[in-house]
Structure 1
């Protein structure tokens, strides 16, 4: 905690501004949510310890008196908060400044969106921020502390699409380089991540340096980090400042803008190429980013990443098409009615199967779901496969006997009957009848021959030998 930190919640300043609670803190003070007791509206009050210095340090850089002078000078410019009151309070030893209440800073929105923005959101912010910087430079003002914490979105449905630049505590009027003998003493504050190189070298800054810091901001928004980003540690340590300066000077711009569209690298190169008293070409930068947005097919519709995040959260809380129970609506159950279906979902013609109503699927309340048996499924499949009407009788199949060869071949079988045993050599019916007839004829001829020829006596072997 800073040494000046004190909780002023509940304090009433000038009998009008009642501090409700702290909403932020910076290098020079705290910011409170407050109520205007006169108009009953919500405002933001920034407080800072009151400095007592005989040399009138109230006008020094970093004081609220110094910052309020720029709000008064800028007036009702777009993207600049309206100043309502400025003064001191001796009871609490603070100086205060009352402005319009605005929305969250880009640093807070980064945390809500995964610590990086999409290309579309980054390009829409780039278009607005270039316009804001151009307006400040046209008024001869150099901001000198552009960072995510000092850029906030508006508050409300319409103003929430507008980007605002805050915290003019380190701002100053641009003067020629010949007028500076020494640089302003703002080296004790700021952020090293998005600070320009002149800030590290404690040199006076000009419009080109604001454009350089803006380039770092846009790179950080899209990538979620910078090559010299460090976690923890004090931002005003000399070692960290020297390390960051070495990386900014030594790293090529192509490495700083790695895996990004070339327009970001061109922006940083252009800002570094300018001289101290050069007037930047803001329109050139805007046209470059707008061409990229058109080439990517994006539309400047004012829908940022955090808007989509909030929309998704709302849909999760209340999904569309869900019927809210009557108990949640404090209504009796009898009054519950489902949402009527769209007429386009109801078919005008009946289904092709023309099934009766008895076959329609029952409701879960009347007939609970049961697991079907496999036999029922088979019967249903067989019923679906069979034709409803048979116009022609089925032809009978003819059984053809084929003479088997020596090779083993499967013989034809009838469906539903066991196969008959077949001999090794199949004989046709005609061949069997012919064989039987031949056999009978042979037997008959043999009997006839025996009866016709008498039996001869054998000749004596002895006589034959003589």
Structure 2
């Protein structure tokens, strides 16, 4: 911080403006929150040490533009301008405004959503067009010099500040007599004409605005660096090389194409060309409609503030003393014991045991597996299960014997047959095969007996031809 900076808190200027505390500082002065003793309202007072710029009053220069732009939207109202010889300062009193876009970026994760960026874009293009219609150039558009209004009425309005580097636009005929613009601008958002130490025109303000919009949406610029605004610094040369060498599509990477068209359009203009502001506004408004956004005035920082307010709890001072530390006493606390094991069952478990209807209807009580058993009982159950598994297949499989009855057998007397014993399924495969062989031999013998009885006496059984020679 420069050596001429001082703490002016508590002093009163012209018996009206009482300084409450510093709220900001820049390269040319300090900004204080002050109270208007006549109206008892807050205002902003910008101070500048007289010896800092001898013979060149920056505040007097800036106040001229405030007077020219009086009552214009997005421009703060000028209340007073002058100097205080006792404090060796000059001052300028304006309306108190809200936070800058740079501060709001810090609240919203260092980047804005597309909706917030587009709502700000529509306002900022209108502010720049209004300046150029007055034949004025801002020449120092950046996030710190764009602030939001203060209060319910002006809280959704974007304002332009810091006209200390502003100047008049001169046509090409007065190019030689144009003022030196060497100190006008900031490295990150400065136009290419500033780096080359050339006079600026309306297209250069729109070029700086394009860099501001890219920074708001992406959170950075490819040449984002920290340094002084003096062109002799190497950082300025690095930024200039990147602005000239990088393609615009790379500068606007991962962004809607409208931002790249904006930058290409203003770079294609010549010094004396007047930009088509309505064309730029319509382009961004069409993007707004295409994305389904509405100009409802709800910005990203409004949503974050609501989230913070919902999580806030009242401080202890806001709670009445009569109700402090009584929430635990008013509640019925559960009786606790020193033993880690609970001696009594829970209250909600009692009805399941006392009410018989609940016990009978419950499917859990019908299952026997829920009861604890001894080891001996479990062993007996296992043995019974194994016996059931071995006997059960034998009961299902019952052998059924059927006999074929022919026409010849119907006339013959029925012979008594020896009863067959039912098969008993055993586990041994050899006994089963022997039993099958026995049954087959019995069938063969019975068929031979029946065949011998059916042949009449004196006749021999028929044989095949050629069987006996």
Q: Provide the TM-score with structure 1 as the length reference.
A: 0.70
Q: Deviations over 1:400-426 (max 9, x none)?
A: 43349xxxxxxxxxxxxxxx9666546
The structure-2 alpha-carbon separation of the partners of 1:400 and 1:193, relative to structure 1 and needing over 3 Å to count, comes to closer
The structure-2 alpha-carbon separation of the partners of 1:326 and 1:115, relative to structure 1 and needing over 3 Å to count, comes to same
Map of 1:110 onto structure 2:
105
1:300 aligns with 2:295: yes
Q: Which has the higher helix share?
A: 2
Which SS does the other structure have where 1:161 is aligned? coil
The structure-2 alpha-carbon separation of the partners of 1:9 and 1:325, relative to structure 1 and needing over 3 Å to count, comes to closer
Distance 1:186 1:365 in 2: 84
The CA deviation at 1:124 is 0.7
Distance 1:195 1:94 in 2: 30
Q: Deviations over 1:212-258 (max 9, x none)?
A: 0000000011111111112x443424311111111111111111111
Map of 2:267 onto structure 1:
272
The structure-2 alpha-carbon separation of the partners of 1:15 and 1:260, relative to structure 1 and needing over 3 Å to count, comes to same
Q: State the number of aligned residues.
A: 365
1:253 to 241, 245, 248: 248
The structure-2 alpha-carbon separation of the partners of 1:204 and 1:94, relative to structure 1 and needing over 3 Å to count, comes to same
Map of 1:219 onto structure 2:
214
Map of 2:228 onto structure 1:
234
Contact 1:32–1:45 (Cα < 8 Å) also in 2: yes
1:317 to 305, 312, 327: 312
Q: Deviations over 1:255-288 (max 9, x none)?
A: 1111111000000011111111111111100110
Superposition pairs of residues 29-68 of structure 1, within 5 angstroms: 29-51=29-51, 57-58=56-57, 63-68=58-63
Contact 2:181–2:199 (Cα < 8 Å) also in 1: no
The structure-2 alpha-carbon separation of the partners of 1:239 and 1:365, relative to structure 1 and needing over 3 Å to count, comes to same
Map of 1:449 onto structure 2:
none
Q: Deviations over 1:282-307 (max 9, x none)?
A: 11001101111111111111111111
Task: Give unpaired runs (5+ residues) of structure 1.
Answer: 338-363, 385-397, 405-419, 436-466
Contact 2:4–2:52 (Cα < 8 Å) also in 1: no
Map of 1:71 onto structure 2:
66
Task: Give unpaired runs (5+ residues) of structure 2.
Answer: 332-344, 354-358, 368-393, 401-424, 443-469
Map of 1:394 onto structure 2:
none
Contact 1:50–1:93 (Cα < 8 Å) also in 2: yes
1:164 aligns with 2:163: no
Q: Provide the TM-score with structure 2 as the length reference.
A: 0.70
The structure-2 alpha-carbon separation of the partners of 1:380 and 1:182, relative to structure 1 and needing over 3 Å to count, comes to farther
Contact 1:195–1:213 (Cα < 8 Å) also in 2: yes
Superposition pairs of residues 363-382 of structure 1, within 5 angstroms: 367=348, 380-381=363-364
1:80 aligns with 2:79: no
The structure-2 alpha-carbon separation of the partners of 1:367 and 1:97, relative to structure 1 and needing over 3 Å to count, comes to same
The structure-2 alpha-carbon separation of the partners of 1:42 and 1:259, relative to structure 1 and needing over 3 Å to count, comes to same
Distance 2:181 2:171 in 1: 18
Distance 2:152 2:19 in 1: 25
Map of 1:3 onto structure 2:
3
Distance 1:329 1:24 in 2: 42
The Cα RMSD (Å) is 3.7
Distance 1:290 1:102 in 2: 27
The CA deviation at 1:205 is 1.1
Contact 1:183–1:202 (Cα < 8 Å) also in 2: no
Contact 1:121–1:304 (Cα < 8 Å) also in 2: yes
Contact 1:51–1:57 (Cα < 8 Å) also in 2: no
Contact 1:326–1:333 (Cα < 8 Å) also in 2: no
The structure-2 alpha-carbon separation of the partners of 1:296 and 1:380, relative to structure 1 and needing over 3 Å to count, comes to same
Q: Deviations over 1:406-464 (max 9, x none)?
A: xxxxxxxxxxxxxx966654699xx99xx9xxxxxxxxxxxxxxxxxxxxxxxxxxxxx
Distance 1:153 1:368 in 2: 62
1:401 to 397, 404, 428: 397
Q: Deviations over 1:89-147 (max 9, x none)?
A: 00111110001110000001111111111111111100110011111111111111100
The structure-2 alpha-carbon separation of the partners of 1:335 and 1:379, relative to structure 1 and needing over 3 Å to count, comes to closer
The structure-2 alpha-carbon separation of the partners of 1:4 and 1:288, relative to structure 1 and needing over 3 Å to count, comes to same
Superposition pairs of residues 351-362 of structure 1, within 5 angstroms: none
